[in-house]
């Protein structure tokens, strides 16, 4: 995980994510008085890692809200609880062996199994080390821990730590830039940040107007006439290599 500014991450990832979306520590986790989200898949120990981890992968700063404020853990939870998490379209007949990266995903686990095994191992490690949880570490310690998962691969219950990190990062970016109908991108914060208009049904009245700024607020696939968004549990895009 090379050091880079949040703005460059968002501009780069947002440009790629926008082509699909239409078709740190405990004290940072929530604002005072906020109710903890209700998860379908993640148990409390797993959420205690996921929430501060996504907050470090896309932190909030002067440019806008981060992954935690955008509801990324909810997006991850719903994906893992759904048919994608169950490996509905995943080939699972083996052989299971180490292969070149270009040959794609080679593990026997569904996405839900991959996260559950890895997160269980991480929880056990923190318990043995008397840290309590990932969220109890300082921001600097959290960053170093995530970098070690990515750059110093080790076994997490049969899951290579770099594969787990890559999967977590991928889901974090997806959840930050997805249509809010899928549970992430709360209040369309990332779309507002990068100036993405969302899912307007038509632009007929603008066809012959060239060189003007499109100043309308973003629109979600799931908005009704009142502007309310109805959350949909199905995965928006299929990740590369899975």
User: For the chain, what is the mean pLDDT?
Assistant: 81
- Mean pLDDT, range 69-98, rounded to an integer: 90
pLDDT in tens, 171-193: 999 999 999 999 999 999 999 99
Q: Are 142 and 148 in contact (CB under 8 A)?
A: no
Handedness of CA 7, 9, 10, 16 (dihedral sign): positive
Closest of 46, 64, 23 to residue 178, by C-alpha? 23
CA distances from 239 to 31, 75, 197 (A): 31, 14, 23
pLDDT in tens, 8-63: 555 555 544 444 443 333 323 344 445 667 899 999 999 999 999 999 999 999 98
Q: How confident is the model at residue 98 (pLDDT cuts 50, 70, 90)?
A: confident
Position 93 pLDDT exceeds 60: yes
Q: How confident is the model at residue 199 (pLDDT cuts 50, 70, 90)?
A: confident
- Mean pLDDT, range 104-115, rounded to an integer: 92
Higher pLDDT, 6 or 210: 210
Q: How confident is the model at residue 224 (pLDDT cuts 50, 70, 90)?
A: low
Phi-psi category of residue 157: left, alpha or beta, with phi > 0 → left and psi -120 to 50 → alpha: left
Residue 75 is encoded by which pair of tokens? Answer: 């997006």
Burial 82-91 (b: 16+ CB within 10 A, else e): bebbebeeee
- Mean pLDDT, range 147-157, rounded to an integer: 95
Position 237 pLDDT exceeds 90: no
Q: Are 200 and 158 in contact (CB under 8 A)?
A: no
**Backbone phi and psi for residue 85, each to the nearest 5 degrees, phi listed first:** -60, -30
Position 155 pLDDT exceeds 70: yes
Position 157 pLDDT exceeds 70: yes
Q: What is the pLDDT of residue 7?
A: 53
Please identify which residue in the block is written with the tokens 């999967």.
167
Least confidently predicted of 49-53, 60-64, 117-121, 143-147: 60-64
Higher pLDDT, 34 or 155: 155
Q: How confident is the model at residue 5 (pLDDT cuts 50, 70, 90)?
A: low
Q: How confident is the model at residue 162 (pLDDT cuts 50, 70, 90)?
A: very high
Q: Are 177 and 13 in contact (CB under 8 A)?
A: yes
Position 212 pLDDT exceeds 90: no
Q: What is the pLDDT of residue 188?
A: 93
């Amino acid at each position: 995980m090379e050091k880079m500014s949040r703005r460059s991450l968002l501009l780069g990832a947002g440009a790629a994510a926008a082509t699909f979306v239409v078709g740190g520590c405990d004290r940072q986790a929530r604002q005072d008085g906020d109710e903890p989200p209700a998860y379908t898949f993640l148990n409390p120990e797993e959420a205690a890692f996921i929430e501060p981890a996504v907050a470090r992968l896309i932190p909030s700063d002067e440019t806008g809200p981060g992954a935690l404020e955008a509801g990324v853990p909810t997006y991850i939870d719903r994906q893992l609880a759904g048919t994608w998490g169950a490996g509905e379209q995943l080939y699972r007949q083996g052989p299971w062996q180490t292969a070149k990266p270009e040959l794609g995903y080679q593990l026997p686990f569904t996405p839900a199994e991959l996260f559950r095994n890895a997160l269980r191992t991480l929880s056990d490690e923190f318990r043995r080390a008397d840290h309590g949880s990932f969220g109890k570490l300082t921001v600097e310690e959290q960053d170093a821990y995530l970098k070690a998962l990515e750059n110093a691969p080790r076994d997490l219950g049969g899951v290579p730590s770099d594969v787990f990190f890559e999967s977590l990062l991928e889901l974090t970016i997806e959840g930050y830039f997805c249509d809010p109908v899928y549970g992430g991108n709360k209040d369309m914060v990332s779309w507002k940040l990068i100036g993405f208009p969302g899912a307007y049904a038509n632009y007929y009245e603008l066809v012959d107007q060239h060189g003007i700024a499109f100043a309308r607020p973003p629109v979600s696939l799931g908005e009704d006439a009142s502007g309310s968004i109805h959350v949909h549990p199905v995965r928006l895009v299929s990740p590369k290599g899975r």
